[in-house]
Chain A
Amino acid sequence: MIGFGWLEALLRVGRKLFVKPETQLYPEVKPKLYPRARGRIVLTRDPDGQERCVACNLCATVCPVGCIDLSKAVADDGRWYPEHFRVNFARCIFCGFCEDACPTAAIQLTPDYELSEWRRDALVYEKHDLLISGEGKVRGYRYWSFAGKAIPGKDKGEAEHEAPPVNLKGLLP
């Protein structure tokens, strides 16, 4: 039996002719994205302007497409840092796992999603393309204030929740 359901559907669709359109005329109109939107990856610095990345490799490990490659080096002051840090945005799926895995809040995703290039190899970003001069979304965090390794300006026992180094020559029990 033929009913009038089709008429109802027509009316429901037709009503949309009179409401405000949601479609935005990109690129003339840029969408408003929130800071947590997952776009281009950056490497941030801590409040002192030092590189946050310690080259622990967790971002590369958690990356489901394996598009992050880095290698560790040790600076003269004992900090670990990435000698090279490479992200292949042609492969990146912007899942944000790297940001979640990062123990130092170094790697962060930004709301910038405009990454089109004519050449594929232009999408391979090296460290100087990734490293920004600010702290990004995470303010005030210094990984080295929590780590047990000593670096200049933060001796053993000076990190958060640390007691002064044990005096092994002391006689007290």
Chain B
Amino acid sequence: MTKKKIEIDGRVIEAKDGEDLLSACLTHGIDVPYFCWHGALGSVGACRQCAVKVYDGPDDKEGRIVMSCMTPVADVERVSVSDPEAVAFRAQVIEWLMVNHPHDCPVCEEAGSCHLQDMTVATGHIDRRYKFTKRTHRNQDLGPLVTHEMNRCIACYRCTRFYRDYAGGRDLDAFGAHDNVYFGRAEDGPLESPFAGNLAEVCPTGVFNDKGWSRDYARKWDMRATPSICPHCSLGCNILVDQRDGRVKRVQNRYHGALNGYFICDRGRYGPLHVVSEHRLRQPLIDGMPASEHDAASAAHAIVAEGAIGIGSPRASLEANYALQRLVGPERFFAGVSDLESNLVRRIVEILRAGPAKIASLHEVEHADAVLVLGENLTGTAPRLALALRQTARGAERELAAQKGVHAFLDPAVRTAGEGRRSPIVLATPLPDALDDLAALSLRLDPQGVAAFGGSVASALGAGGVEEVEEHSEAARVAEILVNAERPLIVAGCALMSAEIIEAAARIVAALGAKARIVLLAPEANSIGLALLGGDGLDSAAALLKRGGAKTAIVLENDLFDRAPRASVERLFAAAKGVVALDSMANETTARAAVALPVAPFTEATGTFVNYEGRAQRFFAAVAPQESAPASWRRLDAFGAGDWHGLDALIGDLIVERPDLVAVADAAPGEDFGMADGKVTRAPRPYTGRTADDRAGQFADAVIPVDQDGPLTFGIKGARGTAVPTPLITSYKTSGLHSANNVTRFLEEVGGPLRGGDPGALLIKPGEASLPDAVSQRGEAGEGLWLIPLHDAFTGGELSRASALLAARRPAPRLLLHPDDAALHGFRDGAAVQVDGKPCAPVVTLDATVPRGTVVISAGSCQPRGPLRRVKVEAAP
């Protein structure tokens, strides 16, 4: 991309050719007020707020007013933002916009981080001269996650542009005309899209807001914000966790150029509030009964001293898993998942390491030009990736528009000029998918069919090596699409827990060569991190205990009953003399364990998650850890795992032992990092009430907590602003600009990486190792119906199910059967059933879209995660 010099009020900047004037100004720190423009949504020119004056050349003394968001930098030489005529124009526009704005700021959640407030102050509007009445609207109930207060609307259309055009939602639209225009649903009801929570950030004023935050509220300037990583899927979206008085109030998106960009899904926004749920483990348990810390700790020490195996967790940090591995030794360290899953995720790591396909970041996913999805219901398993694919589909449209000379930033014009062209996306999944509406081809196949289809695509591409598979009629066509593409992308994952699907994806990318990119989704936030440490699954753990290789077990932050078939877990509990569970959440494992010790959840500890790309990303303690629930690695340290005074010492040991993971140390600055103003602070200014209760230091609340493990401080003194290293950014505030819209100031270019590089360090380099042959997984024998877990964006895994907010939005669990299968087994619609002899809460729903020979059960409702297997569905007694 060529650069172009333009002069703005005497300052010469280098703008990127092809971007709009407003983006160029904002990324160079020149403030131009705006409303409807958004970094991800482009320009529509709806609000008329970003007027500036442009001059044709050095001789042009008069100039003319243009909307900077609609003006390509290619067309201008000299610009004035501060020209009096342009200033007066903008002042008029904000005055019009404010004519109907209610006198609501004191009772509006947005106030304090409101883009409209910032822009009004920036434009100098202070007095409503219009003496007539304000237009009013009735509100709607938009469900448990999002508030609605339509009076505040300034009709920038960002909400519908995001919800409909960007996220593919159908149930939010603009109604009415002229100054009556209304943004809402046709009737009251929850917003259906799993990305609706982003409306709170997209809306420049307080029409849409986070309902959970509103209920448990503190102003933006009163909450300490901490950079964190979403623990609810393997994408590793960056989030900011806001808390006051030690209570997490809300989660917001944290910009990451390569990953989540401007948006996260509702599971990422509301799921982390499981840390304030009643499902937290607050006190130690002995045999399921509350006990004192002293008794429980000494009982745990005794059990560990007998010789324990360690069972790690895909939701615990890399550091915690390493501490456990170090305590018990690598040969006694196991992954707390089924054997198949642990093999599968390790195989994913092998495939990624082998290359030649590069691992696609979400940013690269958006720029792929042909996509094949094998077996993943992406909107359910990794919603943010589904959102990225919605942008991928628009690639052909963008290309055609570019050929016609339409600038990429003119979003509605691109849609028109693109003539509705779609980049080919092929979905090979068992069930109807939310992405079907933009897929070029949707194939409904049972799990074996998905793997076979992947295999036949690979064969059609000329990949050898595997026994001849049955030719699928569409395989040749899909292979042709992939061959002709310049940047083909293959997406597969562990949703169906089928090793064949992953192998098929690997063969396809191998056949496509270096141009191909791949996304292999692991089940959880740190599954890849756990796989990098190694360790077999639970069946091997139980076998070792049975052989007498060890007597007891330590279970790290893991509800085993949710992650592996019940029989395996029961074998483990039967074989172990005692089980110590360390967890932040109370669950069946902590209830069954001989000793359960509370540990810090991800909001109270510092650690690293490794996402699907192999990107190590550090999350920091949003709330100071309590003495009663220290970070799990500190508990393991006390058992004798190491001699670590802080996290950096632990990471130091980790990278000495595992030189291939040396980049973990580069994921974020260490605990001694400081800037000219001291440590980076979580607290915004003014952070009110600091002396309201100090009572001369008699009360613990008045003492600022100390963060032992991170480079951030809880105090109000410290470094902030654009110079802060990107993994430590706690706020996008700069002088006079308080809303999240101001993130542009922190970017190299709009939609591009953060200035100073996107956070995280890549641990996996494609091509660094050769691919060993696949170990053939034994096929599950037995009879019954193949179990297909039904993943859902609002349900997620063990942690997100504990969030009360998300639970309010969660669909009722379902059990779907094909009518023919149901007839075969004698089930009617609505029949109560049991699965594998266990009663199952959902009743049978007949659904002709379900593949024959399978049963679809909502994930997490009555069957745990586990290998692709058959289950017996019988009538309930």
Which residues of A are at the interface with B, using a C-beta cutoff of 8 A? Answer: 54, 56-58, 60-61, 63, 65-72, 74, 80, 86-88, 90-91, 103-104, 120-121, 124, 143, 146-150, 156-157, 159, 161-166, 168, 173
Which 10 pairs, one residue from A and one from B, show the smallest C-beta to C-beta distance? A148-B102, A69-B689, A69-B692, A56-B106, A60-B688, A148-B151, A163-B133, A66-B690, A157-B136, A146-B103
In the complex, which residues of chain A have a beta carbon less than 8 angstroms from the beta carbon of B474? none
- The answer to whether A121 touches B138 (Cβ under 8 A) is no
A166 in contact with B136 given A121-B695, A149-B149 (CB within 8 Å): yes
A69 in contact with B693 given A149-B149, A157-B136 (CB within 8 Å): yes
Give the distance to chain A from B646, nearest Cβ to Cβ, in Å.
31
Give the distance to chain B from A115, nearest Cβ to Cβ, in Å.
16
A168 in contact with B104 given A69-B693, A91-B691, A163-B136 (CB within 8 Å): no
In the complex, which residues of chain B have a beta carbon less than 8 angstroms from the beta carbon of A61? 219, 221, 686, 688
In the complex, which residues of chain A have a beta carbon less than 8 angstroms from the beta carbon of B149? 148-149
Please provide the chain B residues from 365 to 395 with a CB less than 8 Å away from any CB of chain A in the complex.
Answer: none
Q: Does B446 sit at the interface, judged by CB under 8 A?
A: no
A162 in contact with B698 given A57-B222, A88-B693 (CB within 8 Å): no
Q: Does B644 sit at the interface, judged by CB under 8 A?
A: no
- The answer to whether B688 touches A54 (Cβ under 8 A) is no
Q: Does B700 sit at the interface, judged by CB under 8 A?
A: no
- The answer to whether B688 touches A88 (Cβ under 8 A) is no
Given contacts A69-B689, A86-B693, A149-B149, 7 further A-B contacts (CB under 8 A): A61-B219, A66-B687, A91-B692, A148-B149, A162-B133, A162-B136, A166-B136
Binds A, one of B176-184, B354-362, B455-463, B853-861: B176-184
- The answer to whether A88 touches B694 (Cβ under 8 A) is yes
Q: Of B132, B152, B218, B696, which one neighbours A148 at CB under 8 angstroms?
A: B152
Q: Does B137 sit at the interface, judged by CB under 8 A?
A: yes
Q: Does B573 sit at the interface, judged by CB under 8 A?
A: no
In the complex, which residues of chain A have a beta carbon less than 8 angstroms from the beta carbon of B178? 173
Of the A-B pairs whose beta carbons lie under 8 Å apart in the complex, a sample of 10, sorted by A's number, is A67-B689, A69-B693, A74-B215, A120-B696, A124-B695, A148-B104, A149-B149, A156-B151, A163-B134, A163-B136
A60 and B151 CA atoms in complex are apart in Å by: 27
- Quick one: which of B149, B175, B178, B180 has the most chain A CB within 10 A? B180
- The answer to whether A164 touches B136 (Cβ under 8 A) is yes
- The answer to whether B107 touches A88 (Cβ under 8 A) is no
In the complex, which residues of chain A have a beta carbon less than 8 angstroms from the beta carbon of B180? 166, 168
In the complex, which residues of chain B have a beta carbon less than 8 angstroms from the beta carbon of A168? 175-176, 180, 182
A70 in contact with B689 given A56-B106, A157-B136, A166-B135 (CB within 8 Å): yes
> Number of contact residues on B: which range applies?
35 or more
- Quick one: which of A57, A91, A150 has the most chain B CB within 10 A? A57
- The answer to whether A56 touches B111 (Cβ under 8 A) is yes
Name B's interface SS. Answer: loop
Q: Does B214 sit at the interface, judged by CB under 8 A?
A: yes
Q: Of A60, A67, A90, A149, which one neighbours B107 at CB under 8 angstroms?
A: A149
Q: Does B624 sit at the interface, judged by CB under 8 A?
A: no
Q: Of A67, A90, A149, A173, which one neighbours B102 at CB under 8 angstroms?
A: A149
A67 and B219 CA atoms in complex are apart in Å by: 16
In the complex, which residues of chain A have a beta carbon less than 8 angstroms from the beta carbon of B693? 69, 86, 88, 124
In the complex, which residues of chain A have a beta carbon less than 8 angstroms from the beta carbon of B221? 61
A165 and B150 CA atoms in complex are apart in Å by: 11
- The answer to whether A156 touches B106 (Cβ under 8 A) is no
A86 and B105 CA atoms in complex are apart in Å by: 22
Q: Does B217 sit at the interface, judged by CB under 8 A?
A: yes
Please provide the chain B residues from 683 to 717 with a CB less than 8 Å away from any CB of chain A in the complex.
Answer: 686-696, 698
In the complex, which residues of chain B have a beta carbon less than 8 angstroms from the beta carbon of A65? 691
Q: Of A66, A71, A91, A161, which one neighbours B134 at CB under 8 angstroms?
A: A161
- The answer to whether B688 touches A163 (Cβ under 8 A) is no
Give the distance to chain B from A46, nearest Cβ to Cβ, in Å.
14
- The answer to whether A56 touches B695 (Cβ under 8 A) is no
- The answer to whether A86 touches B692 (Cβ under 8 A) is yes
Please provide the chain B residues from 282 to 328 with a CB less than 8 Å away from any CB of chain A in the complex.
Answer: none
- The answer to whether A63 touches B134 (Cβ under 8 A) is no
A68 in contact with B136 given A57-B222, A146-B103 (CB within 8 Å): no
A58 in contact with B106 given A162-B133, A173-B177 (CB within 8 Å): yes
- The answer to whether B136 touches A148 (Cβ under 8 A) is yes
A173 and B152 CA atoms in complex are apart in Å by: 22
A112 and B81 CA atoms in complex are apart in Å by: 52
Q: Of A57, A60, A72, A156, which one neighbours B138 at CB under 8 angstroms?
A: A156
Q: What residue in chain A is nearest B179 (Cβ atoms)?
A: A166
Q: Of A63, A121, A143, A163, which one neighbours B106 at CB under 8 angstroms?
A: A143
In the complex, which residues of chain A have a beta carbon less than 8 angstroms from the beta carbon of B694? 88, 91
- The answer to whether A86 touches B133 (Cβ under 8 A) is no
Q: Of B138, B139, B692, which one neighbours A88 at CB under 8 angstroms?
A: B692
- The answer to whether B103 touches A147 (Cβ under 8 A) is yes
Q: What residue in chain A is nearest B245 (Cβ atoms)?
A: A71
A71 in contact with B217 given A66-B686, A66-B689 (CB within 8 Å): yes
A70 and B105 CA atoms in complex are apart in Å by: 17
- Quick one: which of A61, A70, A159 has the most chain B CB within 10 A? A61
A121 in contact with B698 given A56-B106, A88-B693, A163-B134 (CB within 8 Å): yes
Q: What residue in chain A is nearest B690 (Cβ atoms)?
A: A66
- The answer to whether B133 touches A161 (Cβ under 8 A) is yes
A53 and B214 CA atoms in complex are apart in Å by: 17
- The answer to whether B177 touches A54 (Cβ under 8 A) is no
| Contact flags B208-223 to A (C-beta < 8 A → 1, else 0) | 0000001101110110
